[in-house]
């Protein structure tokens, strides 16, 4: 007999999701695939914690497939609700004209080996394969997928592959997959937001055959080859992205166009950006290691628009995979909150979207939590040390952007003696 709390949670799920029908796995149906088969568009398949050794196909129906994370917001359900493909194909396949009304949320996806395409000559999408389907994918861990490979087989997209598909990906960690982390082809234009693609065995992201993804707040780091590879008339838009730690170029552009704004290219070799074979790159408000010296061209072109910089981003712990900015970073406040290109608005941020005077380049915005304005030495408390530091900020010639922001107590855009008085009053509780 079920415990009362579990029954209450299930009932709450049905009410909260508010859809036509909820099918609960394994309480009502033993397997996820059986629940998917029994569902119709508009239904919810709710999966309770456990390891499910399945290869799931969602075909032609817009359903919500989720763990208890979607209802509770508890991230432990992502770790504890696992779809394990047992190296028997893609762990999950979406196909047949699914749109963003369909959703996959709150799982760990692992041990997929890809779907056979092109008459068995190609294996794609170890973890997730989307073909002519564009679901919303959110709050997922995609790891440990080992795509099929042999001497005659082309293998690509160990984590995710998209063919004529444009899913929306949000809050996803995609790492330790074989081959490229993500492979896009044939007019695939997904949207990536708050996604981490790292430690995959080859490229982080490949854009091919007219694929035009939009990336924002994305980390692409420490993959085994190039961070982002663009070929065959692809045109990614890359905003607030950090591409770092790659042995085979940060970004390579072949017969494609890349637009890079508010981003960081650092610690990539042999160069940060390689533009060749009629490729083109447009860069603005970005931190490029060695500046123009970090860009290599071979029958390609690049345009350095306004406000690009070459300054150490001072990552918190790049060797440990932490690419957030430290207080001494020269990137702080060096991005833009508004940007137009050829009449299209690519960035339009409100003050609430970032800390400080301007956004920071890269995927992680630096800033202090609300209520810590005045914490000039960035130790989490307001005390006399901040007063002394603020005096130094006012009299020294080269304060950091963060210190200028934290010291502007009255938010008038200036740092002066009035702010010292305001900080003292704040410490004294006046």
Which residues, 6+ apart, have CB-to-CB distance to 72 below 8 Å?
Answer: 9
Half-sphere exposure at residue 109, Cβ-oriented, CA atoms within 13 angstroms: 36
pLDDT of amino acid 13: 47
Is the CB of residue 117 less than 8 Å from the CB of residue 149? no
- From residue 276, give the alpha-carbon distance in Å to each of 132, 225, 248: 30, 17, 14
Sequential pLDDT tens for the chain (430 residues):
334 444 444 444 444 444 458 999 999 999 999 999 999 999 999 999 999 999 999 999 999 999 999 888 889 999 999 999 999 999 999 999 899 999 999 999 999 999 878 777 778 999 999 999 999 999 999 999 998 777 666 778 999 999 999 999 999 999 999 999 999 999 999 999 999 999 999 999 999 999 999 999 999 999 999 999 999 999 999 999 999 999 999 999 999 999 999 999 999 999 999 999 999 999 999 999 999 999 999 999 999 999 999 999 999 999 999 999 998 999 999 999 999 999 999 999 988 788 888 999 999 998 755 447 888 877 777 888 888 888 888 887 677 767 777 888 887 778 888 888 888 888 887 6
Q: Where do the domains of the chain lie?
A: 49-60+70-353, 384-428
For residue 259 the two structure tokens come to 């637009």
Which residues, 6+ apart, have CB-to-CB distance to 122 below 8 Å?
Answer: 116, 153, 154, 155, 156
pTM reported for the whole predicted model? 0.85
- From residue 340, give the alpha-carbon distance in Å to each of 121, 211, 261: 42, 21, 11
Nearest CA to 220 out of 189, 161, 264 is that of: 264
pLDDT of amino acid 20: 52
Taking the C-alpha atoms of residue 102 and residue 65, their distance in angstroms, rounded to an integer, is 8
pLDDT of amino acid 388: 85
Taking the C-alpha atoms of residue 273 and residue 226, their distance in angstroms, rounded to an integer, is 10
Bridge partners of residue 275, in order along the sequence: 253, 297
């Amino acid at each position: 007999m079920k415990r009362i709390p579990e029954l209450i949670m299930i009932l709450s799920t049905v009410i909260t999701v508010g859809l036509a029908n909820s099918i609960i796995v394994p309480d009502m149906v033993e397997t996820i695939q059986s629940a998917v088969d029994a569902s119709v568009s508009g239904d919810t398949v709710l999966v309770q914690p456990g390891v499910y050794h399945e290869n799931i196909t969602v075909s032609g129906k817009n359903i919500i497939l989720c763990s208890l994370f979607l209802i509770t917001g508890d991230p432990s359900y992502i770790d504890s609700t696992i779809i394990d493909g047992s190296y028997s194909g893609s762990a999950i396949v979406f196909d047949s004209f699914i749109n963003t009304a369909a959703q996959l949320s709150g799982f760990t996806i692992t041990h997929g080996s890809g779907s056979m395409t092109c008459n068995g000559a190609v294996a794609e999408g170890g973890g997730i394969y989307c073909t002519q389907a564009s679901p919303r994918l959110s709050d997922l861990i995609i790891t440990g997928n080992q795509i099929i490979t042999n001497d005659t087989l082309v293998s690509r997209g160990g984590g995710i592959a998209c063919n004529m598909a444009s899913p929306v990906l949000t809050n996803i960690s995609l790492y330790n997959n074989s081959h490229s982390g993500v492979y896009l082809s044939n007019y695939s234009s997904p949207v990536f937001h708050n996604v981490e693609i790292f430690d995959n065995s080859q490229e982080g992201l490949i854009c091919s055959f007219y694929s035009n993804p939009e990336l924002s707040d994305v980390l692409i780091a420490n993959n085994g080859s190039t961070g982002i590879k663009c070929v065959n008339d692809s045109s990614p838009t890359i905003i607030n992205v950090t591409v770092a730690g790659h042995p085979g170029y940060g970004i390579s552009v072949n017969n494609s166009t890349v637009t890079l704004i508010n981003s960081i290219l650092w610690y990539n070799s042999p160069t940060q950006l390689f533009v060749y074979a009629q490729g083109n790159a447009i860069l603005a408000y970005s931190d490029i290691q060695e500046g123009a010296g970090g860009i290599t061209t071979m029958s390609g072109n690049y345009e350095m628009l306004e406000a690009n910089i070459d300054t150490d981003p001072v990552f918190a712990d790049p060797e440990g995979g932490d690419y957030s900015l430290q207080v001494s970073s020269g990137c702080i406040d060096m991005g833009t909150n508004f940007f137009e290109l050829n009449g299209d608005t690519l960035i339009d941020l409100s003050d609430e979207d970032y800390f400080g005077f301007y956004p920071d380049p890269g995927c992680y915005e630096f800033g202090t939590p609300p209520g810590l304005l005045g914490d000039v030495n960035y130790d989490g408390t307001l005390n006399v040390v901040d007063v002394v530091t603020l005096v130094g900020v006012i009299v020294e010639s080269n304060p950091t952007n963060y210190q200028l922001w934290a010291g502007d107590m009255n938010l008038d855009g200036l740092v002066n003696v009035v702010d010292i008085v305001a900080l003292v009053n704040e410490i004294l509780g006046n």
